Amino acid sequence: MMTQLMQGKRGLIMGVANDHSIAWGIAKTLSQHGATLAFTYQGEAIGKRVKPLARSIGANLTFACDVEDLDSVDRLFAALAETWGSLDFLVHAIAFSDRGELKGRYADTSRANFVRTMVISCFSFTEVAKRSAALMSGGGSLLTLTYGGSTRVMPNYNVMGVAKAALEASVRYLAADFGPNRIRVNAISAGAIRTLAGAGIADARLMLTFEQRHAPLRRGVTIEDVGGAALYLLSDLSTGVTGDIHYVDCGYHIISMPHLSALKAAEDVNSAGPEPGGGVVHVLGGLERGKVRHRDDMIAAIHVMNVAGHPG
């Protein structure tokens, strides 16, 4: 359903890398509801993908901006001030960490990568929020993206979880700073989605499938799901909401263990006795003996065993 909820509102989208990016899902939705958009891209190689995407939804303003280079951030906001003069909303969907440290133990994070991860994935939001707020004399809405690895341990998410925790705290402090100026600051905590950034986390595919199978809605989120929530947070539908971390993860964050049918299937297989060849062969053995009856139970059991470790 199209509305004119964003009609007359101008916003900056930071963090599109390609048409799988969460920022692109948000941009498409906002554009469908009447927003006028400008985009940034990190470097010319990504610019080659972002510019045609922007044009496809009628956006002609694109700026190079690497948040590690503060001069490029300042140039971006100077250009925005000159072309638009004011801004109604900002989407910050930027994160980076050395993929060599998105596996193994958090304890082994290096100082250099800790600092770089924090600057790009956390502090850049504070820097662009401050510059955006200076262009929001009539009020506005700032939005960033986070992940549930900020509050609970996700394997391999490591330093990014620590950066996201700091990012979420920044959302609350910025909301307090800018609230008197009618500028709202919120984050969407998205479930796992297959994107370039997501692929940097070791074994991301396994964890993505686990989330999909065990979330209350029994599916993964799409960039369009995130777009819908962003529309709410960036439009006047949410004028009373600030400092919030809004989960768009098909409910995964409320779950503390896999659903019972998966647990029972795993237990049935375990009680069928050890089987050589690891978890999959083990479960297939259970299937043959009639212990595991349904394909879905079998897959769920494999996931439980993948996470809990193989028995026997």
List residues near ligand NAD by CB under 6 A: 15-17, 21-23, 42, 46, 65-68, 93-96, 120, 145-147, 190, 192-193, 195-198
- What is the end-to-end Cα distance of the chain in Å, rounded? 53
Nearer to ligand NAD, 66 or 225 (CB): 66
Minimum Å distance from CB 17 to ligand NAD?
3
Q: What is the distance, to the nearest Å, from the Cα of residue 97 to the centroid of all Cα atoms in its chain?
A: 14
Residue 153 to residue 292: CA distance in whole angstroms: 30
Instruction: Answer whether 149's CB lies under 8 Å from 160's CB.
Output: yes
Question: What 3-state DSSP class applies to 178?
Answer: helix
Minimum Å distance from CB 175 to ligand NAD?
18
Nearer to ligand NAD, 140 or 149 (CB): 149
Enumerate the active-site residues: 147, 157
Nearer to ligand NAD, 23 or 202 (CB): 23
Residues in the chain, overall count: 312
Nearer to ligand NAD, 15 or 140 (CB): 15
Minimum Å distance from CB 110 to ligand NAD?
18
Nearer to ligand NAD, 1 or 45 (CB): 45
Minimum Å distance from CB 81 to ligand NAD?
20
Nearer to ligand NAD, 42 or 62 (CB): 42
Structure tokens at 66: 């690497």
Minimum Å distance from CB 249 to ligand NAD?
8
Closest CA to 162 of 211, 193, 123, 130: 123
Residue 191 to residue 236: CA distance in whole angstroms: 25
Instruction: Answer whether 210's CB lies under 8 Å from 239's CB.
Output: no
Sheet holding 245-248, edge to edge: 61-64, 36-41, 10-14, 89-92, 140-146, 183-190, 245-248
Closest CA to 104 of 69, 145, 146, 156: 156
Residue 63 to residue 43: CA distance in whole angstroms: 10
Amino acid of residue 74: D
Minimum Å distance from CB 140 to ligand NAD?
20
Amino acid of residue 250: C
